[in-house]
Amino acid sequence: QIIGVLKESEAGAKTDDICRRHGISSATFYSWRKKYGGMEAGDARRLRALEAENAKLKRIVADQMLDMSAMKDLLQKHW
């Protein structure tokens, strides 16, 4: 849907008309254009999948760092 809105803009429609028709703010439109401009629908899906995978990996790293910190604290107390 986002790609469709951006394609309308590329076809020559006015930004204000597009925003009014789709019920979005102009700030939302411009942030979409910045992020998804020039992409096809498949590219956008791939980007979303990569962002989800990246978030999952960041959570895993954060959990491991927390575990390591807890183990270090535990070992220091025993000495």
CA 29 to chain CA centroid, Å, is 15
Cα(53)–Cα(7) distance, integer angstroms? 27
Angle at 31 between CA 28 and CA 35, to 5 degrees: 135
Cα(70)–Cα(43) distance, integer angstroms? 41
Is pLDDT of 79 > 70?
no
pLDDT digits (tens, 9 = 90+) for 13-42: 888 888 998 998 989 899 988 888 888 888
Q: Is the pTM of this model over 0.85?
A: no
